[in-house]
Amino acid sequence: MSSNKLNLSEIPAQQIVELQRQLREEVQRLNISLETLLALIEKFDTNIQTIKDVTQPAFVEQSKEDEMLIPVTNTLFITGKKTVEKKNNDRFVVDIGTGYYIEKNGKEAIEYYNRKINTLKMNYKKISDIIQERVNTMKVLQEELERKSGGAGKAAQLANKDGVLLK
């Protein structure tokens, strides 16, 4: 069985700097992924709260014939009147991805969004763990770079050349 570990003492300083740069870029991409996951979680949480609000009897009474803007495209809206009937306020059309929609009652829609949120949270945790591993690796690389150069000053000069200094 072969080991994937590198012997850092055998790697030239410039290659270590390059490895740090690559890891930093990967961490930046992963952080963007985390932001996207958080935005989706927030969107699904909002959907759940909206479903809960709309299915309340008070919502039906309060919103009879309210005017509202209806989206026609992402940037085009028309004015319409909201008519909510008690018998229809528990049916929702849920976007399940790639242009497909299904009709669900409020409870099913909430369950669907909760499953999506749980999946996103698991993915968030996995990506967070990967980021932490990469950051730890970058610190080890920085320590090796400092050791190779005989101190932090020279390592900082090498790292700053490519903008990779870790504190």
Cβ atoms 141, 19 nearer than 8 A: yes
Give the domain CATH number at 40: 1.10.287.370
- Residue 21's SS3 state is helix
The answer to whether residue 81 sits within a structural domain is no
Q: Which domain does 105 fall in, by range?
A: 11-55+90-162
The answer to whether residue 79 sits within a structural domain is no
The answer to whether residue 111 sits within a structural domain is yes
Q: Assess whether pLDDT exceeds 70 at residue 2.
A: no
The tally of domains found in the chain comes to: 1
Digit-coded pLDDT (tens) for 122-146: 999 999 999 999 999 999 999 999 9
Digit-coded pLDDT (tens) for 97-110: 898 999 999 999 99
The answer to whether residue 46 sits within a structural domain is yes
In the predicted model, what is the mean pLDDT of residues 24-50? 97
The answer to whether residue 6 sits within a structural domain is no
- pLDDT band for position 158 (cuts 50, 70, 90): low
The answer to whether residue 101 sits within a structural domain is yes
- Residue 165's SS3 state is coil
The answer to whether residue 85 sits within a structural domain is no
CA 157, CA 166: separation in Å to the nearest integer?
12
The answer to whether residue 75 sits within a structural domain is no
Q: Is 29 exposed, middle or buried (0-12, 13-18, 19+ CB in 10 A)?
A: exposed
Q: How far apart, in Å, are the Cα atoms of 47 and each of 40, 52, 109? A: 10, 9, 9
pTM exceeding 0.75? no
